[in-house]
Amino acid sequence: MSSGPLTQAPLSDTDLHALHAYWRAANYLSVGQIYLLDNPLLREPLTLEHVKPRLLGHWGTTPGLNFVYAHLNRLIRARGLEILYVAGPGHGGPGMVANTYLEGTYSELYPDVAQSTDGLRRLFRQFSFPGGIPSHVAPQTPGSIHEGGELGYSLAHAFGAAFDNPELLVACVIGDGEAETGPLAASWHSNKFLDAARDGAVLPILHLNGYKIANPTLLARIPEPELRQLLEGYGYAPHVVSGDDPATMHQLMAATLDRVADEIAEIQRAAREDGVIERPHWPMIVLRTPKGWTGPKEVDGLPAEGTFRSHQVPLAQLSSNPEHLAQLEQWLRSYRPEELFDEDGALRSELAAQAPLGARRMGAIPHANGGALTRDLELPDFRGYAVAAAGPATTTSEATRVLGRWLRDVLVLNAEQANFRIFGPDETASNRLTAVFEATDRTWEAERRDTDDHLAPDGRVMEVLSEHLCEGWLEGYVLTGRHGLFNCYEAFIHIVDAMVNQHAKWLKVSTEVPWRRPLPSLNILLSSHVWQQDHNGFSHQDPGFIDHVANKRAEVVRVYLPPDTNCLLSVADHCLRSRHYINVIVAGKAPALNFLDMEDAVVHCTRGLGIWPWASSDAAQEPDVVMACAGDVATVEALAATALLRERLPELHVRFVNVVDLMRLQPETEHPHGLSDAGFDALFPPGKPVIFAYHGYPMLIHRLTYRRANHQEIHVRGYKEEGTTTTPFDMLMLNDMDRFHLVMDVIDRVPGLRAAASGLRQEMVDERLRHRAFTRATGDDPPTIREWTWPAGNA
């Protein structure tokens, strides 16, 4: 690595002066946004009428974010770099808005916020104001892929953005408070998954302003050598930029960024030209500045600058305390706005020249509007991977294993355009997607041994035992316009509930921002699900992620429960083509019955739900009872119960309905996939009992259908938090979702059957006891269960 001694003062006096003035301008605009309604250039004395009635925003982090922005501008101009800025402390929204305004991108996207006195007034007024813009670096903010509202995900997003973007440098400011979170702590390890030859670079900038909301931060209060060792231990080469004197700090930051850029360029040159494959020690910056730098030093006799007290609004009692108003005016005037903006309120031209041009401006970088860069995936025809399902429910296949073959070919077909990756916490093989390793490897930049299985620096399967990292990388990858799939054990996807929330919020809001283009969907495949935990037990049994996702805005979430392999192929193809959704697919990996041939599967999945005529007594007739199901295992049980009913109660008309697309159950007013009431009533006729075997927690089906005419008659079986390490059928019995219990449910619910079929009901009770005893005696389910197929005569 060629890193000579730091040039102590790379900035000429003129450059230093201009850089400092640019920073002052950004700081001025940031304070202005937090406080001012009017008098944007302080051309008259400040009065209470000029100030917002509610003071909302975060000053403390902002001068540091502005400092970094101004210096990155210089670096971009000097070297023609393409830099994406990720602001971990996204509560510093005013800073990112200020900078994109100064560089011109803001006014291009929002012409009413022009480079004029009137534009400045609007810029200030709209911030954290009803009908205006949010306080964070939200989707409305140009150049942002990261809101930073919920802290912890900045570095994972940054790496996700850098993968497969060899020319991109992602500068990621990490709050020192944010660095205390679990996801951020794991994110440092992303450097073991970044290929210097193939991927772009990430420059972490740990913003050590020393404080959070009310506390100091850990990393600011350990001795610097210990901090260095920590970061070196994560594999980085840290450079410290520390101080509070602006002139000294400008020189130091400029010199450090020059050096860091040299180091990154050399790492990339060595990897790309010399084929060096040793894991590089990427540079990073530790930026130690006072929190609320350049803000009020003291407020009400207590120190503000350089303490947690400057986190939000350091002067908050403007209306009741004239001293605060005077201090605010003094603070604003300390940036000397008259030197920064001309008569008309535009940034002076010598300062405007500090910003990069065109798409090199960080607010205009195309990667931050990933949808505009998205190329469709080339998808192999999934029909070619179909399993033969002749005679429904008689042959078996492993759904995810077959899907793996299709995904393998997705990887092959898109190898050149390098825009598809698979993410997972060490479970790609366990989830039986193993065929993908015929096309690629697992990404791995750390040591490799001969005994390892499919590890390579340029693999496209990203496995790390951190669901946070898998989710964060994938989010960064799709936010910058590429495609991916996250495969995860069903129970442990809950670890990223909160991250998925935030992504859903981003998707929802960005649909309302006219210049943002739809993104590739975030695809989550849940396998090794609640009903298939042979090796594990209760800890691995939790189907509740679906409930969580169902709370999100209907426009952005889709949940699919393909009953068999061919349906999974059809659903997966649909998801990888879709845009701007969070698609959740739940599919088993164990050998399971095939119900539909491919032609039927495509129709069924496109419809989203429907009657299976071959399983129903007589599809043309009005049913006495509807046997409904959603989920692969639930479908087998419902089908086995239906077979029993048809054999034992041949007069009973059973209609069999399978649901693939869970959101179809909602009314059309609630979800774009919702079924009309007429459509719903046609499947589930009012007054006719519905016994619904559902993969997850029963309450969700009630939630989704409560507005339906027939809701009173919908009786749901599902997982009711009974679990342990036991046989698959015992799991079903523990939760009353086994075929025998479903038959009992039908007898209990269909008028007249209780008396007429009491003998059969007792048999069902006895069957449960017998099967329970069998598992206890042998340790397995009886072959009649394990090898059950649909009785030939029925089809």
Ligand X SMILES: Cc1ncc(C[n+]2csc(CCOP(=O)(O)OP(=O)(O)O)c2C)c(N)n1
Rounded to a whole number of angstroms, the minimum distance from the CB of residue 190 to Mg ion is: 21
Binding test (CB under 6 A) with ligand X, winner from 291, 405, 516, 580: 291
Q: Which stretch binds ligand X (CB under 6 A): 112-120, 155-163, 212-220, 589-597?
A: 212-220
> Nearest Cα to 738, choosing from 791, 788, 777?
788
Q: Which stretch binds ligand X (CB under 6 A): 169-177, 373-381, 479-487, 592-600?
A: 169-177
181 belongs to the binding site for Mg ion (CB under 5 A): no
Binding test (CB under 5 A) with Mg ion, winner from 103, 147, 176, 329: 176
> Nearest Cα to 347, choosing from 633, 178, 588, 106?
106
If the CB atoms of residues 175 and 238 are measured against ligand X, the closer one turns out to be 175
Binding test (CB under 6 A) with ligand X, winner from 103, 147, 176, 573: 176
Rounded to a whole number of angstroms, the minimum distance from the CB of residue 316 to ligand X is: 16
570 binds, among Mg ion, ligand X, none (CB under 5 to 8 A by kind): none
212 belongs to the binding site for ligand X (CB under 6 A): yes
Which residues have C-beta within 8 Å of that of residue 763, sequence separation ≥ 6?
none
Residues 434-473 interacting with ligand X (rule: CB under 6 A): none
213 belongs to the binding site for ligand X (CB under 6 A): yes
151 binds, among Mg ion, ligand X, none (CB under 5 to 8 A by kind): ligand X
Helix, strand, or coil (residue 277): coil
Question: Which three-class secondary structure string do you get for 222-266?
Answer: CCHHHHHHHHHHCCCEEEEEECCCHHHHHHHHHHHHHHHHHHHHH
> Nearest Cα to 148, choosing from 211, 87, 84, 210?
87
Rounded to a whole number of angstroms, the minimum distance from the CB of residue 159 to ligand X is: 19
Binding test (CB under 6 A) with ligand X, winner from 63, 89, 95, 481: 89
> Nearest Cα to 709, choosing from 668, 679, 677?
677
Residues 48-67 interacting with ligand X (rule: CB under 6 A): 60-61
Rounded to a whole number of angstroms, the minimum distance from the CB of residue 176 to Mg ion is: 4
CA distances from 11 to 19, 74, 77, 214, 423 (A): 9, 10, 14, 36, 44
| N- to C-terminal Cα separation, the chain | 71
178 binds, among Mg ion, ligand X, none (CB under 5 to 8 A by kind): ligand X
Binding mask 184-223 for Mg ion (x = CB under 5 A): -------------------------x--------------
What letter would DSSP give residue 390? -
22 belongs to the binding site for ligand X (CB under 6 A): no
Both tokens of 184, joined, read 């951020």
CA distance 36 to 692: 58
What letter would DSSP give residue 438? G
Q: Which stretch binds ligand X (CB under 6 A): 208-216, 402-410, 428-436, 684-692?
A: 208-216
Rounded to a whole number of angstroms, the minimum distance from the CB of residue 686 to ligand X is: 47
305 belongs to the binding site for Mg ion (CB under 5 A): no
If the CB atoms of residues 173 and 386 are measured against ligand X, the closer one turns out to be 173
256: left (phi over 0), alpha (psi -120 to 50) or beta: alpha
Rounded to a whole number of angstroms, the minimum distance from the CB of residue 60 to Mg ion is: 7
Size of the site for ligand X (CB under 6 A): 20
Both tokens of 96, joined, read 């990112």
Helix, strand, or coil (residue 54): coil
Helix, strand, or coil (residue 299): strand
Four-CA torsion 555, 556, 562, 567, nearest 10 degrees: 80
178 belongs to the binding site for Mg ion (CB under 5 A): no
Exposure pattern of 104-137 as b/e (b: 16+ CB <10 Å)? bbbbebbeebbbbbebbbbbbbbbbbeeebbbbb
Binding test (CB under 6 A) with ligand X, winner from 217, 414, 617, 775: 217
Pairing, β 237-242 against β 283-288: parallel
If the CB atoms of residues 72 and 568 are measured against ligand X, the closer one turns out to be 72
Size of the site for Mg ion (CB under 5 A): 4
218 belongs to the binding site for ligand X (CB under 6 A): no
Rounded to a whole number of angstroms, the minimum distance from the CB of residue 535 to ligand X is: 33
CA distance 216 to 180: 11
Binding mask 544-583 for ligand X (x = CB under 6 A): ----------------------------------------
Q: How many beta carbons lie within 10 A of that of residue 777, not counting itself?
A: 8
Residues in touch with ligand X (CB under 6 A): 60-61, 89, 91, 150-152, 175-178, 181, 207, 209, 211-213, 217, 291, 311
Residues that bind Mg ion (CB under 5 A): 175-177, 209
